[in-house]
């Protein structure tokens, strides 16, 4: 029996193996060909296999789940070809460690659509759903435990919003800085910070916040936060999730559709009754949210209002409970949490995982705070600075300089080459006298002599001709 075989395995981390229930089923949404990541991704390298510190980004989620003893996984990949590639990598890297089924779904179905497509495979009481682009050290077992403790319909993991990216760099203009808060969520929490009462995402962030009076009456006080990020790690009660997916067949996104719907409907006496949700209450309370303001409280005068926890256990006229609870697990701000969902995030996470979050990389770093593979070769007077990685079999010529960069496996780099704040993938050839700054160079690229790149992305297999100078460009072969 498969389950018995998995239970007989010796966990890699015996201390963390007890931290999560065994009967959670985990779905990892590994994506496919995200347009935001072109030209970094290709048919040969789907999003899940993009390297972070010379490891596929998907490996970070899989090992995080393994550490919480969550080993029964369905990895959902968009597109048949991408699924074959991801499945091949998983079977080689995690044999005898995880029980993984790889499911291919059509491209562009959205996160809710992907779950709908595999719904018949979901059989456990509770389902954990996590995006495959999450790089974090927050234990999923803690989210699972909070979900069970509250008997919640959904529990969402929230993390401190990252402070890196172009809006924080000295070169970006004022416009970026004023728009930065709009990237994240506006979230309403109860006073205990355990229940999710309001969430606004995307275009809604440009509007005034409108909060139902029924929620304000129920909680007495609500805290509005704009410093938290939805980490795209959710625990769902399977019966609730499947009911919503079945009856709301236009819902495509967990974040934009399913989660806000569950949050809006949690204080109704009937959530889903015979497929007819109760009409929304018309009464709204308007809250002006000033930009850059992190916290606002709304306190009602009626101190006798029961707490949300008590309210959530009451049905109509005090009858049996008919509501559901939407809960949160807020990670400590000392934890690392980021999603690889843009080119900027790709660069930021590679920098972090070789820097302040190097414990996530799985590699040991030297006294000089770098990691140079024993088989790598360095020429005379070549320096590799702190927070750098140089992969297996790579060679560098004389008088080269590498600063805060990741260089992959089996690269051939000439003399007098300068690399700073960049990611260079595998099997890249770089000619003498090149300068690479703030750029991403994909696998099998050839840079001829004296190429200068600043803030560029070069797609797999591209050849940059000698003497070229490029700034802020995406260079890639045309897809056939």
Beta strands in 415-472 (DSSP E): 418-420, 423-424, 429-430, 435-437, 440-441, 446-447, 452-454, 457-458, 463-464, 469-471
Cβ contact 449:465 at 8 Å: no
Residues 6+ apart with CB under 8 A from 163: none
**Same domain for 200 and 58?**
yes
364-416 pLDDT tens trace: 998 889 999 999 999 999 999 999 999 999 999 999 999 999 999 999 999 99
For residue 290, being part of any structural domain is answered with no
Residue 442, SS3 per DSSP = coil
DSSP per residue, 194-250: -BEEEEE-GGGGGSPEEEEHHHHHHHSEEEEESSEEEEEEEEEEHHHHHHHHHH-TT
* Shared domain check, 329 and 397: no
The pLDDT of residue 18 is above 80 = no
Residue 286 lies in a domain: no
In whole numbers, what is the pLDDT of the chain averaged over residues? 81
Which CATH number fits the domain that encloses residue 28? 3.90.550.10
d(CA 64, CA 231): 14
Same-domain status, 385 and 460:
yes
Q: Which residues contact 180 (CB under 8 A, 6 or more apart)?
A: 167
Q: Are residues 434 and 327 in the same domain?
A: no
Q: What is the pLDDT of residues 78-97, one digit of tens each?
A: 999 999 999 999 999 998 88
Reported as type and span, the H/E element at residue 413 is strand 412-413
Residues 329, 368, single domain; the answer is: no
Structure confidence at residue 478 (pLDDT) = 78
State residue 146's pLDDT score.
94
Q: Please, which residues have CB within 8 angstroms of residue 5's CB and are 6 or more apart in sequence? A: none
Please indicate, yes or no, whether residues 70 and 140 belong to a single structural domain of this protein. yes
Provide the CATH number for the domain around residue 435.
2.160.10.10
Pairing, β 221-225 against β 186-189: antiparallel
Which of 8-22, 108-122, 330-344, 412-426 is least confident? 8-22
Domain that holds residue 422: 364-475
What six digits make up the tokens of 13?
């981390």
Q: What mean pLDDT comes out for the span 167-190?
A: 49
For residue 5, tell me if it sits in a domain: no
- Look at residue 202 in the predicted model and tell me its pLDDT: 61
Lowest mean pLDDT among 33-47, 67-81, 131-145, 265-279: 265-279
- 368 and 334 within one domain: no
Q: Are residues 238 and 386 in the same domain?
A: no
What whole-number distance in Å separates Cα of residue 447 and Cα of residue 431?
6
- Give the pLDDT confidence score for residue 479 in this predicted structure: 67
Q: How many CB atoms lie within 10 A of CB 45?
A: 22
Banded pLDDT at 280 (limits 50, 70, 90)? very low
Q: Answer yes or no: is 428 within a domain.
A: yes
Residues 96 and 195 occupy one common structural domain? yes
Q: Quick one: pLDDT band at residue 15, thresholds 50, 70, 90? A: very low
> Which tokens go with 378?
């360095």
Whether residue 91 is contained in a domain is answered as: yes
Cβ contact 298:210 at 8 Å: no
Strand partners, 149: none
Supply φ then ψ for residue 27, to 5 degrees.
Answer: -115, 125
Query: Is the per-residue pLDDT at 249 higher than 70?
Result: yes
**CA-closest candidate to residue 197, choices 185, 205, 207, 206:** 185
Residues 122, 259, single domain; the answer is: yes
More confident residue, 163 or 420: 420
Instruction: Return the higher-pLDDT residue of 44 and 235.
Output: 235
Residue 128 clears pLDDT 90, i.e. is over it = yes
Give the pLDDT confidence of 433-454 residue by residue, as tens digits.
999 999 999 999 999 999 999 9
Instruction: Please name which of 336, 339, 335 lies closest in space to residue 133, comparing C-alpha atoms.
Output: 339
Please give the structure tokens belonging to residue 280.
């929304």
Does residue 377 lie within any of the structural domains?
Answer: yes
Same domain, 331 and 417: no
Distances (CA, A) of 424 to 33, 347, 396, 445: 20, 11, 13, 9
Angle at the Cα of 359 from the Cα atoms of 358 and 362, rounded to 5 degrees: 95
Closest Cα partner for 51 from 357, 354, 465, 432? 354
Residue 11 forms part of a structural domain:
no
What tokens were used for 417?
């080459």
Residues facing residue 406 across a β-bridge:
389, 423
Domain count, the chain: 2
Residue 263 lies inside a defined structural domain of this protein? yes
pLDDT of residue 276: 42
One domain for residues 260 and 389: no
Within 10 Å of residue 385's Cβ, how many Cβ atoms? 15
């Amino acid at each position: 029996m498969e389950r018995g075989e998995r239970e007989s395995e010796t966990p890699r981390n015996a201390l963390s193996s007890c931290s999560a229930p065994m009967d959670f089923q985990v779905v990892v949404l590994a994506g496919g060909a995200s347009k935001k990541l072109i030209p970094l991704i290709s048919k040969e390298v789907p999003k899940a296999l993009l390297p972070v510190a010379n490891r596929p980004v998907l490996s970070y989620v899989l090992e995080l789940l393994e550490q919480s003893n969550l080993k029964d996984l369905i990895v959902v990949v968009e597109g048949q070809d991408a699924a074959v590639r991801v499945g091949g990598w998983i079977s080689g890297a995690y044999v005898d460690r995880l029980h993984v089924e790889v499911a291919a779904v059509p491209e562009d179905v959205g996160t809710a659509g992907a779950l709908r497509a595999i719904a018949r495979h979901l059989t456990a009481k509770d389902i954990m759903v996590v995006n495959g682009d999450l790089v974090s050290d927050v234990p999923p077992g803690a989210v699972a435990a909070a979900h069970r403790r509250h008997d919640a319909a959904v529990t969402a993991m929230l993390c401190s919003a990252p402070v890196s990216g172009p809006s924080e760099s000295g070169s970006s203009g004022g416009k970026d800085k004023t728009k930065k808060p709009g990237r994240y969520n506006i979230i309403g929490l109860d006073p205990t910070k355990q229940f999710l009462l309001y969430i606004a995402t995307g275009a809604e962030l440009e509007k005034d916040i409108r909060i139902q009076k029924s929620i304000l009456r129920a909680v007495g006080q609500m805290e509005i936060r704009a410093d938290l990020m939805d980490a795209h790690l959710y625990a769902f009660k399977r019966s609730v999730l499947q009911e919503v997916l079945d009856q709301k067949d236009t819902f495509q996104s967990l974040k934009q559709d399913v989660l806000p719907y569950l949050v809006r409907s949690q204080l109704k006496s009937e959530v889903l009754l015979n497929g007819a949700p109760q009409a929304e209450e018309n009464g709204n309370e308007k809250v002006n949210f000033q930009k850059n303001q992190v916290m606002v409280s709304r306190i009602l005068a009626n101190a006798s209002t029961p707490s949300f926890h008590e309210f959530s256990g009451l049905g109509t006229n005090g009858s049996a409970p008919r509501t559901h609870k939407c809960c949160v697990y807020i990670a400590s701000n000392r934890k690392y949490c980021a999603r690889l969902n843009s080119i900027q995030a790709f660069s930021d996470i590679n920098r972090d995982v070789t820097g302040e979050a190097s414990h996530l990389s799985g590699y040991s770093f030297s006294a000089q705070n770098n990691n140079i593979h024993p088989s790598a070769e360095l020429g005379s007077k070549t320096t590799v600075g702190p927070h750098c990685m140089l992969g297996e079999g790579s060679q560098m010529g004389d008088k080269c300089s590498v600063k805060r960069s990741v260089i992959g496996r089996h690269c051939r780099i000439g003399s007098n080459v300068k690399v700073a704040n960049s990611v260079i993938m595998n099997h890249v050839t770089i000619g003498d006298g090149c300068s690479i700054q703030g750029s991403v160079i994909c696998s099998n690229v050839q840079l001829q002599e004296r190429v200068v790149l600043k803030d560029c992305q070069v797609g797999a297999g591209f050849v940059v001709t000698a003497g070229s100078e490029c700034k802020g460009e995406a260079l890639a072969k045309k897809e056939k």
